[in-house]
Amino acid sequence: MTAVKEAPAALKLSDEQLLEMYYKMLLARTLSIRQRLLQRMGKGAITYSGEGHEAAQVGTAFALRPGTDWLYTYYRDIGVVLTIGMTPAEVLTGFFATRDDVNSGGRNMPSHFSHKRLRIVSQGAPVATQCPQAVGTAWASKLRGLDEVAAVYFGDGATSTGDWHEAMNFASVHKAPVIFVCEFNQYAISVHYKKQMAVENVALRAQGYGMPGITVDGNDVLAVYEAMTDAVERARGGGGPSFIEAKTYRLVPHSSDDDDRRYRTKDEVESWSARDPLVRFARRLNEMGKLDERREKEIAERVASEVDEATELGEGGARPDPESALRPVFVEEKGS
Ligand SMILES: Cc1ncc(C[n+]2csc(CCOP(=O)(O)OP(=O)(O)O)c2C)c(N)n1
């Protein structure tokens, strides 16, 4: 008897969920663009954009349980945190470094996301330090018998660090329920991946640590979702860690302080713009009969007004008191 093949996870998504994915991708794109513009107007110190990474980010985060699973994101992950439930206004409190900033009370760099209730753990600036931290959390969940997984996000450059290798090894040895998500955008600022690794697909390295590694088209949100759903199921079922390499491209410079014209050609950027994950998903939804012009316009209007409202809230937010700058950095002397 032939076994009935399970339908792929992406095919089980309802129309509502598919449109929600598209909405989150558009929200991430629009909010990234807004932050770049605001930064150029001198209204924020620095910004890192997620433009081009939306499929990799939303597709993976969509397979997680908000408030239960742990997230160790990095500065590019605006699409991840919005999908898990951070609001645009909460993201912008970090950008504007307001007193009520949920990310760090205005103390960390913008785009270094954190949200206690949503279990998004604050990120340190040194690349890949979030990797061993995520493994530790996942291992703790396992030792406590809790039904939780951790997802850790990073770029291709991060895979050159000792922290990443140690995290991969430790996770596999202890079968920690953690999913490593590499947003492979080809560059670590100006350094092309060919100067960082002698393999074409970094997922190959997972084998050396005894865990499954999969390379997926990171500009195809449903393919990414599929890969992440498998990895999450494996982690929840006690099968241990997985590594997902989502091949993508950042469509704009590394940060608002970077000039990418010095290391990328216009042709290269244009060739990836033609594979824009957002345009691609809109076209796919349209072909599937799930997104017509009217619906697309409605979603675009909703996103635009949410981003405008968040900008107004963020700009109007109270600034931290200057006296609070050293708190809670040093232990205060008694009586001072
Ligand atoms: C240990 C360490 N070295 C260098 C830096 C400076 N730095 C910040 S981001 C970055 C590039 C990281 O590239 P990648 O991991 O590929 O992520 P991407 O920005 O491309 O998404 C570097 C080198 C740092 N923050 N930490």
In tens, the pLDDT along 13-30 reads: 999 999 999 999 999 999
Per the residue annotation, which of 99, 174, 263, 264 is the catalytic one? 263
Interacting residues of 199 by C-beta distance below 8 A, sequence separation 6+: 205
* Residue 291 burial by Cβ neighbours in a 10 Å radius (0-12, 13-18, 19+): buried
**Cis peptide, bond prior to residue 88, ω within 30 of zero:** no
Q: Which protein residues are within 6 Å of ligand 1, measured from CB?
A: 76, 125-127, 154-158, 183, 185, 187-189, 254
Q: Is 117 a catalytic residue?
A: no
Strands 187-188 and 191-192: antiparallel
Q: Where are the domains of the chain?
A: 13-255+264-315
Per the annotation, the verdict on 112 as an active-site residue is no
| Residue type at 218 in one-letter notation | G
The ligand 1 atom at the shortest distance from the C-alpha of residue 125 is 25
Q: For the domain bounded by 13-255+264-315, which CATH number is listed? A: 3.40.50.970
Reply yes or no on whether 225 is catalytic: no
pLDDT digits (tens, 9 = 90+) for 95-132: 999 999 999 888 889 999 999 999 999 999 999 999 99
- Residue position matching structure tokens 């390379």: 215
Q: Tell me the H-state helices in 102-161.
A: 130-143
The Å distance, Cα 188 to ligand 1 centre, comes to: 6
User: Mean pLDDT in the chain?
Assistant: 95
DSSP assignment of 12-48 equals: G--HHHHHHHHHHHHHHHHHHHHHHHHHHTTSSS---
Of 32, 21, 27, residue with least CA distance to 55: 21
Q: Which residue of 127, 166, 202, 263 sits with most ligand 1 atoms within 8 Å of its CB, as the best mutation to test the pocket? A: 127
Shortest-distance atom of ligand 1 to CA 129: 1
pLDDT tens readout for residues 247-281 = 999 999 999 999 999 999 999 999 999 999 999 99
Q: Whose CA is nearest to atom 19 of ligand 1?
A: 188
13: left (phi over 0), alpha (psi -120 to 50) or beta: beta
Give the integer Cα–Cα distance in Å for 93 and 89. 6
Question: Which residue is associated with the tokens 């920690």?
Answer: 176
The mean pLDDT of 137-151, rounded to a whole number, is 98
Which ranges constitute the DSSP H helices of 190-276? 204-208, 221-236, 266-273
Residue 130 CA, ligand 1 centroid: distance in Å: 12
